[in-house]
């Protein structure tokens, strides 16, 4: 339900009888762990994106972590990471004993600023991890040129970007390794889950080995060649993914239709900057994120809209301003000013396929009321 007891939810996964039928078939098959349905899901995604290899995982976080493992990222290495992202992007670097070097963003796109990234390449840099923001591709051409100049692999954090394109090319196909999320807030979902995609045969072989305990099956038993992980997706979750993939293009088209309506309605609301679609296009609007004027109390807006039954949240996090990264790496809040501005003033509004015009009208009216009422939160 979009409105639960009169409240408009922030996001809503779209599922139905197709997903139930796929799950029922898996239960009847007896393959409940990783099996043929995972392989089917992987092939659907690989074919859709246009890559040779796809490996389903338990989450985008484990996909990103496994990507760094197979690249050999470790202690003493540096990885360039946008500062404005969910912490998982940088956490996996830390978990490998490496250092995430945080890079500022462009406020128009909420994606990494390539000039700042180029300035932070050092002799210790071992990889670049661009993040596609809220369903919009990072500016990949200059990123790939920078990577080529320094001989660096690129790991696309494409968690929000299945179906996103960059000058017509699918996100998830441009980096050395590319990672999707299938969390319920994404364009399609498996409940929890992720995937690594690559055209590199040698890296694919390493992923295949390490995703499943480091074991190779020979003559009915495993021989363990490495200290691997259990990052496998189950066939039950993959069954949901198979049904979801059939919906994907329709869901994206509906999101874009609703976004056009929402952005038009918000033109009349002072102090709100709507999402930008840059020259490369291809935004799938996994989240609809606006930027409020600095004089507006974003957290007060969230609180006020909740009081009126509309769920919202911040865009995402400025990592340098989070206690762990500030403490460990010596950052102070505001060191990456554009990311910090986005962290303090971005706002995610509900826009997703089952919504109708009247739901959008209510969101816009509630946002206008919340901004107008900020006096009681500031005084």
14-69 pLDDT tens trace: 999 999 999 999 999 988 998 999 999 999 999 999 999 999 999 999 999 999 99
| Model confidence at 378: pLDDT above 90 | no
State the Cα–Cα distance between residues 140 and 130, nearest whole angstrom: 8
Q: How is the beta sheet containing 99-103 ordered, strand by strand? A: 99-103, 78-82, 125-128
Which residue ranges form the domains of the chain, and what is each CATH number?
A: 17-242 (3.40.640.10), 248-378 (3.90.1150.10)
Residue 3: name the closest of 372, 267, 366 by CA.
366
Phi, psi at 95, each rounded to 5°: -65, -20
| Model confidence at 375: pLDDT above 60 | no
Look up residue 140 and give its two tokens: 């990949």
Phi, psi at 309, each rounded to 5°: 85, 25
Q: How far is CA 130 from CA 14, 157, 321, in A?
A: 28, 6, 19
Q: How far is CA 196 from CA 61, 154, 176, 269, 346, in A?
A: 10, 13, 10, 40, 29
In the structure, what pLDDT confidence band is assigned to residue 6 with cuts at 50, 70 and 90? confident
Q: Given this model, what pLDDT does residue 265 score? A: 98
Q: Given this model, what pLDDT does residue 31 score? A: 86
Residue 144: name the closest of 156, 135, 136, 134 by CA.
156
Which residues, 6+ apart, have CB-to-CB distance to 377 below 8 Å? 297, 300, 303, 304
In the structure, what pLDDT confidence band is assigned to residue 1 with cuts at 50, 70 and 90? low
Which residues, 6+ apart, have CB-to-CB distance to 27 below 8 Å? 236
Q: How far is CA 50 from CA 102, 216, 227, 255, 290, in A?
A: 30, 27, 31, 23, 31
- Per-residue pLDDT of 301-310, as tens digits, reads 999 999 999 9
**pTM (predicted TM-score):** 0.95
Mean pLDDT (the chain) is: 96
Q: How far is CA 162 from CA 51, 81, 235, in A?
A: 13, 20, 20
- Per-residue pLDDT of 169-214, as tens digits, reads 999 999 999 999 999 999 999 999 999 999 999 999 999 999 999 9
Active site residues: 186
Q: What's the whole-number mean pLDDT along residues 288-294?
A: 98
Q: How is the beta sheet containing 155-157 ordered, strand by strand? A: 53-57, 194-198, 177-181, 155-157
| Model confidence at 295: pLDDT above 90 | yes
């Amino acid at each position: 339900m979009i409105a639960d007891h009169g409240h408009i939810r922030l996001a809503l996964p779209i599922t139905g009888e197709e997903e139930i039928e796929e799950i029922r078939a898996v239960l009847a098959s007896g393959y409940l762990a990783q099996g043929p349905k995972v392989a089917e899901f992987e092939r659907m995604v690989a074919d859709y994106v246009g890559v040779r290899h796809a490996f389903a995982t338990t989450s985008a976080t484990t996909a990103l972590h496994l990507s760094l493992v197979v690249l050999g990222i470790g202690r003493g290495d540096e990885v360039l990471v946008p500062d404005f992202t969910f912490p998982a992007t940088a956490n996996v670097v830390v978990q490998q004993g490496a250092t995430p070097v945080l890079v500022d963003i462009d406020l128009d796109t909420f994606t990494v600023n390539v000039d700042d990234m180029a300035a932070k390449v050092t002799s210790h840099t071992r990889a670049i991890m661009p993040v596609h923001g809220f369903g919009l591709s990072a500016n990949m051409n200059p990123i790939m040129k920078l990577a080529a100049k320094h001989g660096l692999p690129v790991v696309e954090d494409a968690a929000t970007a299945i179906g996103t394109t960059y000058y017509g090319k699918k996100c998830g196909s441009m980096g050395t390794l590319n990672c999707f999320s299938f969390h319920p807030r994404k364009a399609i979902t498996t409940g929890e889950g992720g995937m690594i995609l690559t055209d590199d045969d040698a890296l694919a072989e390493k992923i295949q080995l390490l995703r499943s305990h480091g074991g190779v099956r020979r003559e009915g038993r495993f021989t363990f060649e490495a200290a691997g992980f259990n990052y496998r997706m189950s066939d039950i979750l993959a069954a949901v993914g198979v049904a979801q993939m059939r919906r994907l293009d329709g869901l994206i088209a509906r999101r874009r239709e609703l976004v056009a309506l929402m952005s038009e309605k918000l033109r009349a609301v002072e102090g709100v900057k709507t999402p930008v679609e840059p020259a490369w296009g291809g935004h799938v609007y996994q989240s609809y994120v606006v930027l409020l004027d600095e004089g507006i109390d974003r957290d007060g807006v969230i609180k006020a809209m909740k009081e009126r039954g509309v769920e919202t949240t911040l865009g995402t996090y400025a990592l340098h301003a989070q206690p762990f990264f500030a403490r460990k790496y010596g950052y102070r809040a505001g060191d990456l000013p554009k990311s910090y501005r986005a962290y303090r003033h971005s706002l995610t509004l509900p826009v997703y396929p089952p919504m109708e015009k009247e739901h959008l009208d209510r969101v816009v009216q509630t946002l206008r009321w919340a901004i107008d009422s900020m006096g009681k939160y500031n005084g």
